[in-house]
Amino acid sequence: MKFGQPSDVHTIGNDIQELNLLNFDLYGRDFLLTTDKSLVDLEAVLRLADILRMLWRANVSTRVFQTGLAIAQFRDKSTRTRFSFASASNLLGLALQELDETKTQISHGETVRETSTMISFLSEAIGIRDDMFIGRGHTYMREVGQALDESFQAGVIGHRPAIINLQCDIDHPTQSMSDLLHLARHFGGLHNLKGKKIAMTWAYSPSYGKPLSVPQGIITLMSRFGMDVSLAYPEGYDLLDGTVAKAKQYAQETGGQFRIMNSMEEAFENADVVYPKSWAPYRVMKRRTELLEAGQGIEDLEKECLANNAKFKNWECDAQKMKLTRNGEALYMHCLPADITGVSCRQGEVSEDVFEKYRMATYMEARYKPYVIAAMMMMARFRDPVALVDHLFRNRSRRAGRFEA
Amino acid sequence: MKFGQPSDVHTIGNDIQELNLLNFDLYGRDFLLTTDKSLVDLEAVLRLADILRMLWRANVSTRVFQTGLAIAQFRDKSTRTRFSFASASNLLGLALQELDETKTQISHGETVRETSTMISFLSEAIGIRDDMFIGRGHTYMREVGQALDESFQAGVIGHRPAIINLQCDIDHPTQSMSDLLHLARHFGGLHNLKGKKIAMTWAYSPSYGKPLSVPQGIITLMSRFGMDVSLAYPEGYDLLDGTVAKAKQYAQETGGQFRIMNSMEEAFENADVVYPKSWAPYRVMKRRTELLEAGQGIEDLEKECLANNAKFKNWECDAQKMKLTRNGEALYMHCLPADITGVSCRQGEVSEDVFEKYRMATYMEARYKPYVIAAMMMMARFRDPVALVDHLFRNRSRRAGRFEA
Amino acid sequence: MKFGQPSDVHTIGNDIQELNLLNFDLYGRDFLLTTDKSLVDLEAVLRLADILRMLWRANVSTRVFQTGLAIAQFRDKSTRTRFSFASASNLLGLALQELDETKTQISHGETVRETSTMISFLSEAIGIRDDMFIGRGHTYMREVGQALDESFQAGVIGHRPAIINLQCDIDHPTQSMSDLLHLARHFGGLHNLKGKKIAMTWAYSPSYGKPLSVPQGIITLMSRFGMDVSLAYPEGYDLLDGTVAKAKQYAQETGGQFRIMNSMEEAFENADVVYPKSWAPYRVMKRRTELLEAGQGIEDLEKECLANNAKFKNWECDAQKMKLTRNGEALYMHCLPADITGVSCRQGEVSEDVFEKYRMATYMEARYKPYVIAAMMMMARFRDPVALVDHLFRNRSRRAGRFEA
């Protein structure tokens, strides 16, 4: 399948054939970090996501569950990802149920095991967002996974729901995978990403405390496809060592590049793609955890952090910097919402004119997420997802309009 | 179809035939104000609503979506309309997803365009309630519509969800249309409304700040069917000029009447229908917007408003006033909840004995709303909704009980 | 059907046959108190619950509603029961809609009648939890029932939704019925419960105000199957007189036993099942209602109550007490969450080692609840639920995977 071609019903059959050739191993496995998955796994998820999207466009039902729940556990505010998860669950036929924890608490061992089991009796998937505390989110998700394994093996729950990471302290796979699908379509195929330069850069923001998982997700994913990844940030805004190490390793393995620099301009130089986005320094996020547990000092930390950010107001993606990119026409990306200078804040990550030029492109970038999440769920819950999506295609049951029952 | 007859399955076939004769134009259009729609449009929605209701009664499935979301965006408290929208979405097969905006804010241009698109990828309909600020609600809904048009034309979203107005500063179409269906059934047909007198009057309430959209919705809708509309309120409780002008115009066009008076008794004189309901003076609602933006003065405004209301405690619908109506047996209407003297408040819009006599009638009035909303959605999202409802009828798939899949 | 046998698809056919032999009378009746139902009614619900569970295990769809709502009205915090009700609704095909009352208020007559009707137009079931006020919860549920009867008879609503008690001040039927099913499976059949001893005992907890409905539900249900019910609590921690009287009566009728004692050890002596769980003294709960209405004095009551609890810290289920049970291997039960000494609190209802030994068993105990609730709903809403579940079994429509539409 040529990702970049316009889609229509006739190509879906071919796309399913091509997906069938991939030797992926996703059944019964949670989707927590892209670094846990093979390249084939990742490509399979993207292909299935795009097939589901085309089926939707062709008004073909993608319902694979008559009943069943998808649980949403958000330990952080979210509108976009919440909607994406709700949409993904719904397009497969699952009903959304929120696990509402009124107090953001660090769960004790007992509570995690019990709560995870109590919500799983009739659930097919659990989407968790836990990104506010360095060292906690990913750990929590693994703990949930272990609790579910134990209950499943003991026969308490009849099946083992799949856990989907909706953003943790390390990675944001639903975001990075959607971004990757967007790039694949933009450049006409995953294979065409090889050698393309992406500038994953820090950018100024008047708010502090933004998670590191988006830049970490981008560098650990794009480096796996032979891209020339340039990570740029002011001194002190390092990402987690482990993610940087992985990006270096992947770049080596795939003949790509991975470079770190302290200049936004240098990263933008001849870039095919730019992704300027703010994040808090890792050390600040760690201290934030400690202060929150102590119950004091947060406001001082915030002031300190904002003051530090303010030294780098020139780290703004403006028309001048965009001129440095390849033909001055690099694809601008953002997970949204962006801090837009003069629009959503006085000084921000991107200038108004640049954002306006790429606004529709950022909406295009966002549209894949429900399908990526649905593909992750489908791959994890069905032994033969290709046969299943092929059945959906051949059955051509209408999603909207007349149908039997 | 004779609206007033008891319904049964056999008449549904005829009702669908009669609906098929109407030349309506609702596909791809939002339902924001009844004044935007032709008389044929309005009649078609009512007929379809009643058909859906009878199909429900006959245990015939009205599911027309296998998957898909209906988004609820409530910028004001609501239980009844929230339930009606949830019921309407569900009877068509859509899953409800709430857009939760924790802060009631006046949205900036960027946020509206982005948020509207982000929630629309897999959505079929968006129900919005925004009635607290004069000049804002309807404007906001149009802004959302424009954002969706733009994203749809750019190919970002595959289809353009329909926006349903669940109450704005100008109109409350789901309420007025349900009221109209109720009247049509009560008097044996829309054509029988011609010449009937309806008293849309202000009534005393111990609370302030009730929206103007219900009386405005009633006068701009009932005047289109040749009714004799008497709008009564104490001096100073005017409705929006634009709505009054439209009511006058419609009355002229249809051979009805539209009169404004400052006496509840005069309105009740020989009325066939009475609709006594409190509202805040337009000028007060406007100043409220300004004071809320300034962040102060609201409490003083409230005191002033309640003090003014208190001058008109005799504007209560009691047995004595009901005796003035035609045969003393006018149909009493209220969108609920009513302020009932001695029951829900010390002094209110209606006396306990009058309300108790008509309590079941007000429940009857309320029962049409889910079907009216569902009809609005169906008409907006399907090119041939008549063929579709005919298919539902002929297929006779059970809603509850045995069915295939 | 032998409850204790491993289940598989082949036995489901037999199980349905056996259910068909029972002469139950559940159609059109709310499920508020187990004491309202006959023994045959209770057995029928349990059998249907287990059939639904096995159908789920066999990946057979249990969807009996194409559309329709299940309303959840929680006047108290809840995660487990909320999830159980959501799961139960979903497995039958209903969409969950919450009735959110922001203020816990004692509803006035008018509001109950109106609200109950407004939420019922397209609803099949209403789950209510109202357990915080002695004398209120059950009364409220009956009030709702009367309001629905009235509206149904007046033709305002087309059908009468079933009310399911999700815990009131008197009983917690979804819990006790799930517990009973758990015991039936554990001991190889309902008939095998006769003569088995169950110790329903109070236990120490560092929190106060826990409802009495669990112990009341247990003693009024287990006594109906000829069990030897030992109710133990420190002086002053009596349960409601009416529930105690019923337990005595049932024990007499079924040849079982019902004894009250003030010693945990005496209750545990030779017990086959132990159920140590804290509850607040009835008199305290009554005074709490009065103080809440007065708006003061709650904190003093709390201190007094905690101080009184603290006299009985030795009422803890530990290894030593478990040794007193039959073969030292009684089945430990808890509705969860338990107050576990050294894990969730410093001193609690059960020691860490005992709880850990039975942790999986308590999860097993919890897994029946969604199916019990679903069975209650199905029995109340369908005239011939046996024919319906037989149709589901024969149709063998897949719940997950390929299906027609």
| pLDDT tens digits, one per residue of B330-387 | 999 999 999 999 998 999 999 999 999 999 999 999 999 999 999 999 999 999 999 9
Q: Average the pLDDT over B225-245 and give the result.
A: 97
d(CA B124, CA B67): 10
The C-alpha of B243 sits at a distance from chain A's nearest C-alpha, in angstroms, of 35
Phi, psi of A74 (to 5 degrees): -105, 115
- Tokens at B12, concatenated: 């549904």
User: Does residue B188 contact residue B376 with C-beta atoms inside 8 Å?
Assistant: no
Reported confidence tier of residue B404, pLDDT bands at 50, 70, 90: low
Among residues A230, A186, A211, A206, the alpha carbon closest in space to that of A315 is found at A206
Token pair for residue C35? 């004491």
pLDDT at A403 > cutoff 80: no
Percentage of chain A surpassing pLDDT 70?
Answer: 95
Reported ipTM: the value is 0.94
Instruction: Give contacts of C108 with chain B, Cβ < 8 Å.
Output: 343-344
Where residue C300 falls among pLDDT bands split at 50, 70, 90? confident
User: Tens digit of pLDDT for each residue in A106-131?
Assistant: 344 458 999 999 999 999 999 999 99
Q: What is the pLDDT of residues C111-124, one digit of tens each?
A: 899 999 999 999 99
Runs of H (alpha helix) within B310-351: 319-322
CB contact under 8 A, C359 and A403: no
Average pLDDT, chain A: 93
Per-residue pLDDT at C8:
62
| Residues on A contacting C at a C-beta cutoff of 8 Å | 61, 64-69, 95, 97, 99-100, 108-111, 113-115, 117-119, 121-124, 151, 154-158, 381-382, 388, 391, 395, 397, 403-405
Mean pLDDT for C98-125 is 77
- List chain A residues with CB under 8 Å of B158: 56-57
Number of CB atoms found within 10 A of residue B273's CB: 26
Number of residues that this document lists for chain B: 405
Q: Which chains touch C (3 or more CB pairs under 8 A)?
A: A, B
Question: Are the beta carbons of C74 and C166 closer than 8 angstroms?
Answer: yes
Using CA coordinates, name the residue in chain A closest to B389.
Answer: A402
Strand ordering across the sheet containing C331-332: C257-261, C228-232, C197-201, C273-276, C331-332
Q: Residues of A with CB below 8 A from B68's CB?
A: 90, 399-400
pLDDT, position B107: 43
CB contact under 8 A, A57 and B158: yes
Domain boundaries for CATH 3.40.50.1370 within chain B: 9-171+369-395, 176-366
What topology does CATH give the domain A176-366? Answer: Rossmann fold (3.40.50)
Which residues of B touch chain A, with CB atoms under 8 Å apart? 61, 64-69, 95, 97, 99-100, 108-111, 113-115, 117-119, 121-124, 151, 154-158, 381-382, 388, 391, 395, 397, 403-405
Among C61, C95, C367, select the one facing A66 at the smallest CB separation: C61
Q: How far apart are CA A5 and CA C242, in angstroms?
A: 74
- What's the mean pLDDT in B145-160? 96
Instruction: Identify the CA nearest to B206 among candidates B308, B318, B124.
Output: B308
Mean pLDDT of B158-166: 96
Name the residue of chain A whose CA is nearest to C343's CA: A110
pLDDT of residue B207: 87
Hey, of B54, B90, B344, which one would you mutate to test binding to chain C, going by the most C CBs within 10 A of its CB?
Answer: B90
Cα of A7 to nearest chain B Cα, Å: 12
Integer angstrom CA distances of residue B88 from A172, B171, B387: 36, 20, 20
Say what angle helices A80-92 and A173-187 make with each other, to 10 degrees: 80
pLDDT of residue A108: 46
The verdict on whether omega for the bond into residue C385 sits within 30 degrees of 0, i.e. cis, is no
Q: What is the mean pLDDT of residues A317-321?
A: 98
Q: Which residue of B has its CA nearest to C402?
A: B405
Residue C302 sits at φ, ψ, to 5 deg, of -60, -50
Coil, strand or helix at B166: strand
A154 contacts in chain C (CB < 8 Å):
360, 363
pLDDT at C186: 96
Query: Which residues of chain C does A381 touch, with a Cβ-Cβ cutoff of 8 Å?
Result: 400
Mean pLDDT of A134-158: 95
CB contact under 8 A, C86 and A97: yes
Residue B37: name the closest of B17, B50, B23, B51 by CA. Answer: B23
Is the separation of the CB atoms in C338 and C350 below 8 Å? Answer: yes
Beta-carbon count within 10 A of B263 CB: 14
Q: Please say whether the beta carbons of B24 and B163 come within 8 A.
A: no
- What is the predicted pLDDT for the residue at B9? 65
Cβ A122 vs Cβ C93: under 8 Å = no
Are A58 and A34 spatial neighbours (Cβ–Cβ below 8 Å)?
no
Residues of A in Cβ contact (< 8 Å) with C61: 66-67
CB contact under 8 A, C115 and B79: yes
Q: At what angle are helices B173-187 and B213-222 packed, to 10 degrees?
A: 50
pLDDT at B2 over 80: no
CATH number of B9-171+369-395: 3.40.50.1370
Centre a 10 Å sphere on the Cβ of residue A83 and count the other Cβ atoms it contains.
24
DSSP string, B57-118: HTTB----BSS-EEEEEESS--SHHHHHHHHHHHHHTPEEEE---SS-----HHHHHHHHHH
User: Between A and C, how many residue pairs show a Cβ–Cβ distance under 8 A?
Assistant: 103
CA distance B152 to B131: 27
Closest residue by Cα to residue A150 from A90, A177, A110, A183: A110
State the residue for tokens 């046959």: C17
CA distances from A137 to A172, A356, B386, C96 (A): 11, 34, 51, 29
Distance from the C53 Cα atom to the nearest Cα atom in chain A, whole angstroms: 10
Q: Give the mean pLDDT of A79-87.
A: 93
Question: Is a pLDDT exceeding 50 seen at residue B199?
Answer: yes
Distance between CA C36 and CA C25 in Å, rounded?
Answer: 11
**Which pLDDT score is estimated for B23?**
97
Rg of chain A in Å (alpha carbons): 21
**Inter-chain contact A344–B114, Cβ cutoff 8 Å?**
no
Q: Taking all residues of chain C, what is their mean pLDDT, rounded to a whole number?
A: 93
Mutate to test the interface with A, among C83, C351, C404 (most CBs of A within 10 A): C83
Residue B378 makes CB contacts below 8 A (sequence gap 6+) with B48, B52, B64, B92, B385, B388, B389
